[in-house]
Structure 1
Amino acid sequence: MIIISITKYVSWGLHLKPSKSRARIAVALCTTFPCLAFADSASLELPTSVIQGQEQTQEAGSYTQATASSVSKTETLIKDEAQSVNVVTQQTLDDFQVRSLDDAMKFVSGVSQANTLGNTKDAFIKRGFGTNDDGSTLRDGIRSVVGHNLNATTDHVEVLKGPASLLYGAMDPGGMINVISKQPQFTRQTTITGSAFSEGGGTTGVDTTGGVGDTGFAYRLIAERSHEDYWRNYGTDEHTLVAPSLSWTGERASVSLAYVNNDYSSPFDRGTVFVNGKPANISYKDRLDERWAKTVGISETATAKFEYQLSDSWKTRLVYGWNNDRYSLAIAQPAAAGSNLAAGTLRRQANGGHYDYETRYTALDFIGDQMLFGQRHELLVGVDNEAQDRYRGKTYRNTSTAAGNLDINNPVYGNLAEPSTVSATQSNAKNQLTSTSLYLKDNWHLNDQWILVFGGRQQHYDQYATQGFANTLLRDSNGDQFIPFAGVVYQPTEAWSLYANYSRSFVPNTDTDDQGNTFDPEEGVSREVGAKFAPSDALNVNLAVFDIVKKNVVTTTTLANGNTSSEAAGKVGSRGIELDVTGRLAPNWDVIGTYAYTHTEILDDPKNEGNRLNNAPMHTASLYVSHHLTVFPEASGQWHVGGGGRYVGKRAGDNENSFWMDSYTVADAFLRWDLPVSDYKTRLQLNVDNLFDKHYYPSNTGSGQLQVNEGEPRTARLTASVTF
């Protein structure tokens, strides 16, 4: 059966251009027969062909990757998709010792930091849009409510630009970020890692994987313990992560199970204040809150996936995903009433709460690769169900008094008591959003040069929300939404791929106005054209031009008493250009270069029409280069050096554009030595971030000049690892 299937794919591939055939055959074989590498001894020669085919699409240790799963829910050549996709590879993450998703996004055009809620959540502006709770961060294709999603289990990160609602439902039109996890491998390998942080403390971890005899089972266990001093004048970042996973591969079926448990504690840091539109002239490292201002919690994720090869052309996949984040936070909330920043006085109010956020997701997909009337169709037909539950239990709102005043020029801590007054109206807040959808996507290869991409999603959703100990009903509504997608790809040569698309997006609004009325869902319309150029297998150049309009936008403002007020901002727009260059320029030289021009504008709003959107820079750019040194004798090991910087243009501090955060440029560098130690892969690496110790302000809460995030100053990390 294996020989017949391979022969069919090879015969089918002969209808394509030679190099296209090799790459597509490899993708088809790996997707259809993941068990080849682990079959009985009679088939041990087969995996060699599959591995060689994969090398056509991705070079080991590269900054670029030719396939991604985020666009079609299965590994597909990026050049065949009518959308813009970026991949931050494992090599990029390793070289620059990326420790957060925010840090990873400096390698992707058009993505910058949004309100991180005191550095406790992943939060991104993508093509001008995004918040910390917009649902655009996924883990292995499943929407995540976890605060920080990049950790020791991360293999690589995929970024899909523009609307992703076709396959992922309610989603902001700027794009989505999909964190892909490491999988069990049948080759036995263990890596032990330890690092020391310049601010104090460090991290230790182990990653072990391997097969279980001839059973078809493979395991992986990743564990990490980190305890590092916070870079400001007090606080610690710490976590304990344990992540076991197990897979089984048979002749036609495969099963995988994965679980991650992360016990964490981190400072809740609102940053600094601006005075008359400029950063206050105070110590960059002195916090303006209290030692008890932190977040403590446990996050968990679990996924189960079953795949079965129905025939040579079709397979089915059943996926279940669950993630949960239970945490408590305490805030020394800056308050406008009672503050006199010109005199150096900041009024603060003790707030806090207990949170329980959860997502449950189930999807059944049928994936086909059909030849109909001499034309190839890459088909995806599926149905999914998703439930998002957000619960805030006891919510603390202490009274704002002069006892909370802080002299920002000479802060004295301990005068503001921890939050203890329970708010009867703000507590016991339940927000539930459930949806069920049917979706279809077809990559229709008209011939060797033209691909028509189209699809649609029919989604039904229900919203239910109550708040307060009296269970006051805020919303009980439902709706139906159809989301179309249409695109075309033209490939005049092997190296070039030109595309255009039209798509829509929607997001049910979870906010209500002051009278408790639910806002209409946000709806977005996007148009995009672009070009993808691959002069070699190791280098990719992507260019995209886009225009997005979104209506029914709601803005939320934090009031002086710590409560929030929401109002509709009407219609907003974003248009721009993005350029990404990733891969190998020459032997021993790798590069990542990005540029984005993003013009955002509030198009229809009585107060802010014509203004720029909060936190959205007009210009961003980055350039990173790494080099394999050849000046040392081979016997001394391999040496790698790299570095570069990112530029972020000035950003509006709020939608009123009442103040602006200045542009900034931050540089990073690394030096790695791969030691020649017997049969062990031993590595010693030094990374320095913010090389020139730049003071910069990457984002704010949008609530005025009292809460502006500060960027990390110069820090260093020394990492040692051994793999055997």
Structure 2
Amino acid sequence: MVYSGAVDIDGKNYDLKSDTFKYREAEYQDLINGLSYKLDSPDGLKVDASLSAYTTLKNLSRQSSDVVPDSKHGGAGTVTENDNGWYTADLKAAKDINGWGGMHTLAAGYHFDQYYTDSETWNASDWYDDVRTTLDEASEGKTRTHALFIEDTWYIEDHWSVYLGGRYEWWKGFDASKSTDGASGRITTNLDDKSENDFSPKFSTTYTPNNNWQLRFSMALATRYPTVGEMYYGGITSTGEINKSNPDLKPEESFAKDFTITRFLGKSSEARLTFFEDEIDNAIFKQTNSYTDVNNYQNVDEVRTRGIELAFNVRRLFIDGLGLFTNLAWTDSEILRNDNVPESVGKDFPRVPEWRVKCVLDYAPTDKWAITFAGHYSGDQYSELDNSDTNGGYGGVDDFLVFDVKFSYHFTPGFDATLGVDNITDEEYYVSHPYPMRTYFAELKYSF
């Protein structure tokens, strides 16, 4: 076993540094809670309400820093403890109203979310037994969103409908700080709060000339605010100076359009062709500024994504209970402007594959049980803005073809069981880190 020094593999020479390899152990425990309520009253009022919470019960990782293999069972290292989570709440009410030139479905609602992070990395005299000495770095922060929306679907006549809606959001990043132990003791630097208010309208119109065809055009403005990690990325020096943070990070603003043609193939099948375009201003991406050489989360000024998707949905394929869904999508995502990294202009935006294919075959001969078989293909893509990474593997992004299978059984009303296997062929593929290999899962679910 070689841990450092010169290595020759298949005629290629490598120089492994003494700190190339490290030992690491991690423990994770998470808790997710959810509660939902639905009302469908006789007078036509429909209400949907939901609450959810994610809490980290334990997120502890220990890592060596001394030379391996001597550090396998102890020695200097670091211990990192994270406390991350979120809370969400949603309420929506809808009612059909006949009048004002046709039938209207009016809806309104409220959304709330709050995300938080509290992370500490400690220097340790014994990483294996978690013997901590000084605080290397601590980081915490929160984001919160309140939103109100209202929408109306207007059925003008049997062949025509119009949808119009709007959402107003109040967003805030707050309670952020970074700490470290310096020569004179604990040093804490607070980061400034940040807030944004935005309105996002949406419009859609659908024309159904007959039972065989349907045409729909939609467009919408939307805003994505920075996450906790993006907002408060960076470290703190021994003097309390924050480095690599980007207090001027702006939210993403998207203008999305699509035109969809649907052909109904009898009562149980349909084919759909969609043309879509999404223009994003201030896309958030981690990059290295060409002028300052600072690597952090920055805004890419303009990104345009265009594409075509073809989908088929057959709910009865040859026999009762056998269904098929498949789609094929081609996407062209281009960086139109990036003042911080101008050499990336004209390149493909990272993590957007040119081709994607999905095929799902399901068989449910009775109400008791069902089996589903699915295949997913994702084509070549890049992880770097300049598209210089042409090789996959560890640290890169691979194309992949994977298959999954799932068996479900319905015991009684509200009581279901599921068994399945993801990545049946044990495909090895990466998006910087490896994706999960063959994975078996089982689930029991009871609803009341």
Any residues of structure 2 matched to 1:60-459 within 5 Å, and which?
A: 290=23, 292-294=25-27, 296-303=28-35, 305=37, 307=39, 309=41, 312-313=43-44, 315=45, 317=47, 319=49, 321-331=51-61, 350=78, 352-361=80-89, 363=91, 365-382=92-109, 384-396=110-122, 420=132, 423=135, 426-435=137-146, 437-459=147-169
Shift of 1:390: 0.4
TM-score, normalisation: structure 1: 0.45
Higher strand share: 2
Over residues 433-482 of structure 1, what are the superposed CA-to-partner deviations in whole Å (9 max), with x where a residue is unaligned? 232x3321111111101101111122233331421245533232323211
Over residues 227-262 of structure 1, what are the superposed CA-to-partner deviations in whole Å (9 max), with x where a residue is unaligned? xxxxxxxxxxxxxxxxxxxxxxxxxxxxxxxxxxxx
Question: What's the counterpart of residue 298 of structure 2?
Answer: 567
Question: Would you say 1:710 and 2:431 are equivalent positions?
Answer: no
Alignment CA distance shift 1:291-1:499 (3 Å): same
Partners of 2:324 and 2:359 within 8 A in 1: yes
Equivalent of 2:332 in 595, 599, 615: 599
> Separation in 2 of the partners of 1:578 and 1:334?
48
Equivalent of 1:587 in 297, 319, 325: 319
Residue type at the aligned position of 2:225: P
Partners of 1:512 and 1:518 within 8 A in 2: no
Alignment CA distance shift 1:571-1:373 (3 Å): closer
> Separation in 1 of the partners of 2:199 and 2:444?
51
Equivalent of 1:616 in 352, 376, 385: 352
How high is the sequence identity, in percent, across the aligned residues?
A: 19
Secondary structure at the counterpart of residue 30 of structure 2: strand
Partners of 1:627 and 1:640 within 8 A in 2: yes
5+ residue gaps, structure 2, are 1-8, 15-20, 68-75, 180-186, 234-243, 289-293, 393-397
Equivalent of 1:664 in 373, 391, 400: 400
Higher helix share: 1
Shift of 1:535: 2.2
Equivalent of 1:498 in 215, 218, 221: 215
> Separation in 2 of the partners of 1:442 and 1:380?
6
Over residues 8-62 of structure 1, what are the superposed CA-to-partner deviations in whole Å (9 max), with x where a residue is unaligned? xxxxxxxxxxxxxxxxxxxxxxxxxxxxxxxxxxxxxxxxxxxxxxxxxxxxxxx
> Separation in 1 of the partners of 2:145 and 2:253?
18
> Separation in 2 of the partners of 1:570 and 1:645?
36
Residue type at the aligned position of 1:547: E
> Separation in 1 of the partners of 2:420 and 2:33?
30
Secondary structure at the counterpart of residue 475 of structure 1: coil
> Separation in 1 of the partners of 2:311 and 2:52?
33
Alignment CA distance shift 1:520-1:419 (3 Å): farther
Alignment CA distance shift 1:432-1:536 (3 Å): same
The structure, 1 or 2, with the larger RCO (C-alpha pairs under 8 Å, 6+ apart) is 1
Partners of 1:292 and 1:418 within 8 A in 2: no
Any residues of structure 2 matched to 1:630-709 within 5 Å, and which?
A: 643=373, 645-660=375-390, 661=392, 662-668=398-404, 689-697=422-430, 699-700=431-432, 708-709=433-434
Residue type at the aligned position of 1:525: F
> Separation in 2 of the partners of 1:291 and 1:567?
31
Alignment CA distance shift 1:330-1:617 (3 Å): farther
Question: Would you say 1:533 and 2:263 are equivalent positions?
Answer: yes
Secondary structure at the counterpart of residue 586 of structure 1: coil
> Separation in 1 of the partners of 2:77 and 2:385?
24
5+ residue gaps, structure 1, are 1-274, 281-287, 339-347, 400-413, 701-707
> Separation in 1 of the partners of 2:131 and 2:279?
41
Question: What's the counterpart of residue 484 of structure 1?
Answer: 201
Partners of 2:246 and 2:297 within 8 A in 1: no
Shift of 1:577: 1.6
Secondary structure at the counterpart of residue 446 of structure 1: strand
TM-score, normalisation: structure 2: 0.70
Equivalent of 1:576 in 284, 307, 311: 307
Shift of 1:645: 2.7
Q: What is the aligned residue count? A: 380
> Separation in 2 of the partners of 1:685 and 1:393?
36
> Separation in 1 of the partners of 2:29 and 2:440?
27
Partners of 2:61 and 2:81 within 8 A in 1: no
Partners of 2:86 and 2:115 within 8 A in 1: yes
> Separation in 1 of the partners of 2:444 and 2:29?
29
Alignment CA distance shift 1:476-1:639 (3 Å): closer
> Separation in 2 of the partners of 1:571 and 1:689?
37
Shift of 1:712: 0.9
Partners of 1:532 and 1:542 within 8 A in 2: yes
RMSD: 4.4
Alignment CA distance shift 1:351-1:502 (3 Å): farther
Alignment CA distance shift 1:474-1:552 (3 Å): farther
Shift of 1:575: 1.3
Shift of 1:592: 2.0
> Separation in 2 of the partners of 1:556 and 1:329?
24
Over residues 296-318 of structure 1, what are the superposed CA-to-partner deviations in whole Å (9 max), with x where a residue is unaligned? 22323243547585x835x3747
Alignment CA distance shift 1:485-1:688 (3 Å): closer
